[in-house]
């Protein structure tokens, strides 16, 4: 008896899916409707080539799995799907919904397999992989009302109210030009975020310097200067009292100063990287020294703030100055050999376009940064909100971190283009003397100070192995002055991990290793936050205990209460 072919019973559209020629066309240079012949579907990515034998194998395997899926759909109740996008009971209760989700995941699996089979250089393959994944994420049946049984069920239960609310929220977001990720009316800077008590004691056109009120009877004589990234607002380090790194440092007995970068507008569109070093880092260090009366301070740089701080310190130490007794770097790049997924956005062509557009003046707009970073985790930061906000009509909940994430900042074009070319594209800063800032060669090896380096294990912005590469650049003659720890979670959540929460874990290893992999292999995992380890490091270099100082001094009187005006300026 001849065994029936399950593929023969499939609808015509499913039979077409089994033809991998169509998949190849997705990855080969498809034509844009308005593009000349030969233009690739992904700009900047050349035509893809495939090994015929590999493609034949993939096609056979795909047809087999598609047939099995169809057979199981016709003969058994829908099984639960592990992917959280399809976890609601409505997906299993609706046979077509369950099949659509399973078929989508199967197609995604084989599109990714085809991407891996492309004959291309690693960088080109990574670009193809990223763009294909963007397409896969966008085409999920969860993203469309007509293929989302969960949203359809809610539509019926609410008699259309869910869709009405969703459309209202969609129109509101279209006016804002971005997807709402949180209830932005629930927060106000200075009222329920960025609330640690302090004062603005200095300002120039680029930043305000905040000094925080002591919370202990005595303080360490050497203050702590914090330099946050200029790509975001500083208050990620001071969200709520229970998860504020600023408040934690103050509670440990440190006099904390912090840079609040100005959100650039057209009047600052001419500023350069040199300005961020001279007007920014140099000024902040000097004012902190003068107010505290200390020749040496402790300094912390977070993300791009760490790159700016390290560049400034390299120049100051080369001049014979020794302005810091310790340096802390949190998820910061000095060595840009491996920039992770961000590398897909950076090549000579892309950088030249930026330089031509804003390199001599203009702004890199904060909303473009936000869109770029959201695309790195599009399922979590884009499509999940499309489903909840628009298809289901749910109002996004109040979440302080996502409020901060939506409070974007601009960057001056000349500064951004210099940074993009000299770091991400050419990786020049790590080579002693290759790059000059303020007319002086930069050599991180000049910095002679004990250094605490923190990285996040799941960081997609600064891979932890890249953060470890700083160990070879700092204190090269005295590597034991460097201490490295790795925390669980990502770029932000790993950093903002207060001890009181007793969450996550971190890895430590007091010995210097030749590679990041060797360091991790011999490290010890410890429960909880890495903050106490950092506090112990900082205390060793903070000096003796003294009476707290008042805000500022005669030369630097109080300008206004913290958080100041600069942090409240919104991007247009």
Q: Which amino acids are annotated catalytic?
A: 303
DSSP at 179: -
> Cβ-count burial of 134 within 10 angstroms (0-12 exposed, 13-18 middle, 19+ buried)?
middle
How many residues comprise the chain?
Answer: 572
Among candidate residues 522, 178, 150, the one with its CA nearest the CA of residue 366: 178
| Structural contact between residues 252 and 211, judged by C-beta atoms closer than 8 angstroms | no
Tokens of 80: 């639960």
CB 402 within 8 A of CB 373: no
CA atoms within 13 Å, Cβ hemisphere of 177: 9
Within 10 angstroms of residue 478's Cβ, the number of other Cβ atoms is 10
Distance CA 425, CA 427 (A): 6
User: What is the DSSP secondary-structure string of 118-170?
Assistant: -BS-HHHHHHHHHHHHHHHHHT-GGGSGGG-HHHHHHHHHTTTHHHHHHHHHH
Q: Which residues pair with 199 in a beta bridge?
A: 211, 561
Report CA dihedral (541, 546, 547, 548) to the nearest 10 degrees. Answer: -10
> How far is C-alpha 466 from the chain's CA centre?
14
The answer to whether the beta carbons of residues 457 and 479 sit under 8 Å apart is: no
**Tokens describing residue 401:** 């971190």
CB 419 within 8 A of CB 369: no
156, 186, 335 from 160: Cα distances, Å: 6, 27, 54
Q: Which residues of 401-415 are buried (b: 16+ CB within 10 A; e: fewer)?
A: bbbbbbbbbbbbbbb
What one-character-per-residue DSSP string does 12-52 give? HHHHHHT-HHHHHHHHS-PPPTTSPTT--SSTT-PPPB--H
Q: Which residues of 81-107 are buried (b: 16+ CB within 10 A; e: fewer)?
A: bebebbebebbbebeebbbbbbbbbbb
Under 8 Å CB-to-CB from 359, ≥6 apart: which residues?
413, 414, 417
Q: Residue 77: what are its φ and ψ, rounded to 5°?
A: -60, 155
Q: Which two tokens stand for residue 30?
A: 């498809």
CA distance 302 to 453: 10
Residue 295: count of CB within 10 angstroms of its CB:
12
């Amino acid at each position: 008896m001849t065994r029936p072919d399950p593929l023969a019973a499939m609808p015509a559209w499913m039979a077409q899916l089994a033809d991998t020629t169509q998949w190849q066309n997705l990855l080969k240079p498809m034509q844009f409707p308005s593009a000349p012949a030969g233009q690739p579907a992904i700009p900047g990515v050349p035509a893809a080539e495939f090994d015929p034998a590999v493609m034949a194998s993939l096609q056979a395997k795909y047809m087999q799995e598609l047939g099995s899926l169809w057979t199981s759909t016709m003969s058994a109740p829908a099984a639960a799907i592990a992917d959280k996008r399809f976890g609601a009971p409505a997906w299993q209760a609706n046979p077509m919904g369950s099949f659509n989700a399973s078929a989508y995941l199967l197609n995604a699996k084989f599109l990714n397999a085809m991407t891996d089979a492309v004959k291309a250089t690693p960088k080109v393959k990574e670009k193809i992989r990223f763009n294909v994944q963007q397409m896969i994420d966008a085409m999920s049946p969860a993203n469309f009302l007509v293929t989302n049984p969960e949203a359809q069920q809610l539509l019926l239960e609410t008699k259309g109210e869910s869709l009405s609310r969703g459309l209202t929220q969609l129109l509101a977001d279209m006016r804002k030009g971005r997807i709402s990720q949180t209830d932005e009316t629930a927060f106000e800077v200075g009222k329920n975020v960025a609330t640690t008590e302090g004062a603005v004691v200095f300002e120039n056109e680029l930043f305000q310097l905040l000094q925080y009120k002591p919370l202990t009877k005595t303080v360490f004589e050497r203050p702590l200067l914090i330099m946050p990234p200029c790509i975001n607002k500083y208050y990620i380090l001071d969200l709520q009292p229970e998860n504020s790194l600023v408040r934690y440092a103050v509670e440990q007995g440190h006099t904390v100063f912090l840079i609040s970068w100005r959100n650039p507008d057209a009047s600052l569109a001419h500023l350069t990287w040199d300005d961020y070093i001279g007007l920014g880092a140099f000024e902040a260090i000097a004012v902190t020294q003068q107010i505290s009366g200390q020749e040496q301070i402790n300094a912390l740089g977070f993300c791009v703030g760490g790159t700016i701080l390290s560049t400034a310190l390299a120049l100051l130490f080369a001049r014979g100055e020794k302005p810091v007794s310790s340096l802390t770097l949190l998820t910061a790049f000095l060595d840009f050999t491996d920039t992770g997924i961000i590398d897909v956005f950076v090549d000579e062509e892309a950088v030249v376009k930026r330089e031509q557009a804003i390199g001599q003046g203009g702004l890199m707009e904060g909303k473009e940064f936000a869109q770029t970073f959201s695309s790195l985790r599009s399922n979590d930061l884009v499509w999940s909100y499309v489903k909840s906000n628009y298809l289901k009509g749910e109002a996004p909940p109040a979440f302080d971190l996502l409020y901060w994430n939506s409070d974007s900042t601009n960057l001056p074009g000349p500064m951004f283009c210099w940074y993009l070319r000299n770091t991400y594209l050419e990786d020049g800063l790590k080579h002693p003397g290759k790059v000059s800032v303020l007319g002086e060669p930069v050599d991180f090896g000049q910095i002679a100070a004990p250094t605490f380096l923190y990285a996040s294990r799941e960081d997609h912005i600064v891979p932890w192995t890249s953060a470890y590469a700083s160990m070879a650049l700092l204190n090269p003659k005295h590597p034991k002055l460097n201490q490295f720890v790795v925390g669980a979670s990502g770029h932000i959540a790993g950093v903002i991990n207060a001890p009181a929460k007793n969450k996550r874990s971190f890895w430590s290893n007091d010995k210097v290793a030749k590679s990041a992999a060797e360091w991790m292999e011999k490290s010890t995992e410890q429960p909880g936050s890495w903050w106490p380890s950092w506090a112990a490091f900082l205390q060793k270099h903070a000096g003796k205990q003294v009476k707290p100082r008042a805000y500022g001094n005669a030369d630097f009187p109080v300008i206004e209460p913290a958080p100041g005006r600069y942090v409240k300026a919104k991007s247009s």
